[in-house]
Structure 1
Amino acid sequence: MTMRVALWGPLPPPAGGVTRWVRNYLDAAPTAGIEADVIDTSPGGQTIDPTSRFRPARVVRALDALVALRRVLARRPPDVVHLCTTLFWAAGRDGLAIELCRRAGVPAVLHLHLSPQIIAWHRALPWPARQAVRAMLGRAAAIITLSQELQTYIQDLLPAGCVVRIPNLVDIGGFHPAAPRPPARSLRVLFVGLVTPQKGVIELARAVLAIDGVTLVIAGPRGAGSEERRLDDALGDLARQGRLELLGEVPEEAMPAAYRAADIFCLPSHGEGLPNALLEAMASGLPCVVTPVGAVPEVIEGEGGRVALAVAPADEAALRSALLSLRDDPSLRAQLGEAARRRAVRRYAPGAVMAQYAALYAELAARR
């Protein structure tokens, strides 16, 4: 039986975590018996805004998306509407979308794509605004989170609500380990993501600078912020030694090759939801060094032992020690890389994750 889903989310451009999730979802949907139509909510343009600031153009885009959703519901109502969101300014837009679905008798799934950011944002709101957001969340038929932390927080807000945790998926066919190659004179440590101090790039650059025989490779767009001078200084020291490669924003189709050209993956972020880059690195069989933030501990811990080295956020010394241990121990690199690949295949393969979405949709459709 085919399940018809209206997917409310951003299409490229811009690049980013939610957009990448939409692409992965659409690629995997047919094999899971899901027929998905997308209602594009992307604001347009190439700029990535990690703070999700309010902009007038976004209001216009939100109204367009709401009109498109209303047309879909009136023309041929789907079995489920799957709403991707990061909340913040868009909470009002998402609340209107949920209300349209309720009036059409179609269950709305609200998929929250950030974790610590959402919790901190909601706690900082004035009491009336916190209650309004809580009421909006309570009107969704189900809420999907990426981390246990956020699932617990939302469940406490909505004791009677349906709050489930479903991870992101990764294309384990496209992202796969590299063929064996001769030992390199300089190991390549790959960072993938928005290049900002909040992602731990300053600590990473300084840690790599202190280790001989290691080159830092950065794949991702540069973020704007108040600490740009410190970031420039840290990266500049590496560049002067010829141990820095800035790839910029790499096209999606070229990312698998970027992982295969690396020896180690490092994401020393100060805060995350469930980073797609980590799942892609694991599927690529790379040993990983990460910080235990957001859903990262749930990814790297569990059955079969450790699949990555974890260091505290902003701990430059610990980060340097972890990278040094991987530089000096090829067997440890191989062990962690193989374990990471096995876990990616078992937990985050498209079939495994899409089956969880399909089961949730079927449950909600049956209630309807």
Structure 2
Amino acid sequence: MNAAPLPSDETVAASPALSVAPVPEPRRRILIATDTYPPDVNGASYFTHRLACGLAARGAQVHVLCASDDGRPRTETAGGVVVHRLRSARLLLHPTMRVSLPAGLSRTVTELIRRIGPQVVHVQGHFVVGRSTVTAARLAGLPVVATNHFMPDNLFQFARVPKQLRERAGELAWRDLARVFAQVHRVTTPTRIAAELLSGKGCPGQVEAVSCGIDLQRFQRQPQEWARRRFGLADLPTILFVGRLDEEKRIEDLIRALPYVLNNVDAQVVLAGKGARREALARLAARIGVGERVRFLGFVPDADLPQVYSAADVFAMPGTAELQSIATLEAMAAGLPVVAADAMALPHLVDGNGFLFRPGDAKEMAAHLTRILTSAELHASMSRASLALAAAHDHERSLARFEEIYTELLA
């Protein structure tokens, strides 16, 4: 029998059985280096986790380099992210955080970069892990992005820095950050105000504001009565704070404001979080006669935070060292009006959705809280404004911008 004729080029092109599948683009390899990562409880830790998992979900191959949560070095995979935990020791200045041990760290980071072969490196600070990774990445000729979450005020309480020395200590801390960030190719921070602060403190080059972003869908409001029952809260007008109960959050101001609120509204303050000031805050509440109107929920797992916001009527943020305040953004995504200190980056989150007050002015804070809690019409309009403002901080937009920055550097 004669062999069948070979198909012509036209036949090949038209035949589905012989079509060539497109070659998939190689996954981009990204190394994220950070000194704090879950189970650490703080804004930088949560942001870094969302960044890593979000990039992985969008198709990147993501590795995270961080301090071990129990001291043992190990590698694990979670949420599509490979996490390399470095040998660590408890940080004497902080009750829960750990720090990677400097001895041999540079060699370890250099070897990990060689094995992982990242195309871009993204550090989340200038401390031990971030500093070593910047140096190793530059020696390897890799582009480096740095995101700053640091404010000197975040450390003063734990470092026991006397108040009269804090200004000088802050200057030294900013100078150290500028030295490290001078070695990277791009610097970002969550807000425009934070970017202006960094530039003013000597950080070289242009600093770009890229929001930390939040998952808007997670924080849609749920039935308030059900949420209050879940946490054992009284069915009263509720003022909520979410975050660490530490010095720079200035929660004392909120507790001192409560007696003035109670002159007009039978309300309660709910504090979700843990920290070094917990017992002192309870003593203060008892001393000024509002102990029964202040509820401490302790640590609330991230998965349960949407229910906490649903239990509230208004969100209060008295802290003065916020570079963005993820908790405030989450509250806004849940439709809560906001009363916040007129300090650092908080003013950029308040525009028709709440009020700002002079830091430390408990009476002014109370007056704003009272206005919101006593006017259904004002509460409704501010709730709508919060939802509209939060929409601009969708985490998918933030992830897309970071991907664009990586592409720009690789180009």
Q: TM-score, normalised by structure 2?
A: 0.74
Cα 1:161–1:321 shift into 2, 3 Å: same
Q: State the Cα distance separating 1:39 from its structure 2 match.
A: 0.9
Q: State the Cα distance separating 1:63 from its structure 2 match.
A: 5.0
Q: Which residue of 2 aligns with 1:318?
A: 364
Cα 1:220–1:364 shift into 2, 3 Å: same
Greater alpha carbon shift after TM alignment, 152-161 vs 277-286: 152-161
Matched, 1:80 2:120: yes
CA contact (8 A) 2:240 2:315 kept: yes
Q: Which residue of 1 aligns with 2:67?
A: 41
In structure 2, what is the Cα distance between the partners aligned to 1:109 and 1:335? 39
Q: Which residue of 2 aligns with 1:307?
A: 353
Q: 1:196 aligns with which of 239, 246, 251?
A: 246
In structure 1, what is the Cα distance between the partners aligned to 2:195 and 2:333? 25
Matched, 1:281 2:331: yes
Cα 1:180–1:214 shift into 2, 3 Å: closer
Cα 1:355–1:126 shift into 2, 3 Å: closer
Q: State the Cα distance separating 1:360 from its structure 2 match.
A: 0.8
Q: State the Cα distance separating 1:33 from its structure 2 match.
A: 4.1
Cα 1:132–1:317 shift into 2, 3 Å: closer
Matched, 1:58 2:99: yes
Q: Which residue of 2 aligns with 1:168?
A: 212
Identity level (%): 22
Matched, 1:124 2:168: yes
Q: State the Cα distance separating 1:202 from its structure 2 match.
A: 1.5
Secondary structure of the 1:13 match is coil
In structure 1, what is the Cα distance between the partners aligned to 2:235 and 2:171? 58
Q: State the Cα distance separating 1:142 from its structure 2 match.
A: 1.1
Matched, 1:243 2:259: no
In structure 1, what is the Cα distance between the partners aligned to 2:52 and 2:208? 21
Cα 1:101–1:263 shift into 2, 3 Å: same
Gapped runs of 5+ residues in structure 1? Answer: none
Q: Which residue of 1 aligns with 2:379?
A: 333
Cα 1:151–1:42 shift into 2, 3 Å: farther
Alignment of 1:139-288 (within 5 A): 139-156=183-200, 161-179=205-223, 186-210=236-260, 211=262, 212-224=265-277, 229=280, 231-237=281-287, 242-288=292-338
* Relative contact order higher in (CA < 8 Å, ≥ 6 apart): 1
Q: State the Cα distance separating 1:317 from its structure 2 match.
A: 0.8
Secondary structure of the 1:246 match is strand
Q: Which residue of 2 aligns with 1:293?
A: 343
Report the residue type matching 1:75 in the other structure. Answer: R
In structure 2, what is the Cα distance between the partners aligned to 1:320 and 1:82? 42
Q: Which residue of 1 aligns with 2:150?
A: 114
CA contact (8 A) 1:77 1:106 kept: no
In structure 2, what is the Cα distance between the partners aligned to 1:49 and 1:328? 45
Report the residue type matching 1:196 in the other structure. Answer: D
Secondary structure of the 1:29 match is helix
In structure 2, what is the Cα distance between the partners aligned to 1:337 and 1:68? 49
CA contact (8 A) 1:177 1:286 kept: no
Cα 1:42–1:153 shift into 2, 3 Å: farther
In structure 2, what is the Cα distance between the partners aligned to 1:220 and 1:208? 19
Q: TM-score, normalised by structure 1?
A: 0.82
Matched, 1:103 2:153: no
Q: Which residue of 2 aligns with 1:358?
A: 403
Q: Which residue of 2 aligns with 1:70?
A: 110
Q: Which residue of 2 aligns with 1:20?
A: 46
For the aligned residues, what is the CA RMSD? 3.5
CA contact (8 A) 2:198 2:207 kept: yes
Cα 1:165–1:84 shift into 2, 3 Å: same
Larger radius of gyration: 2
Secondary structure of the 2:216 match is coil
Secondary structure of the 2:245 match is coil
C-alpha distance after superposition, 1:280-310 (max 9, x if no partner): 1011111111112222122224xxxx22211
Secondary structure of the 1:242 match is helix
Q: Which residue of 2 aligns with 1:138?
A: 182
Secondary structure of the 1:174 match is helix
Matched, 1:5 2:30: yes
Report the residue type matching 1:100 in the other structure. Answer: A
Greater alpha carbon shift after TM alignment, 63-72 vs 215-224: 63-72
Cα 1:133–1:116 shift into 2, 3 Å: closer
Secondary structure of the 1:173 match is helix
CA contact (8 A) 1:116 1:273 kept: no
Q: State the Cα distance separating 1:221 from its structure 2 match.
A: 0.3
CA contact (8 A) 2:120 2:144 kept: yes
Cα 1:342–1:149 shift into 2, 3 Å: closer
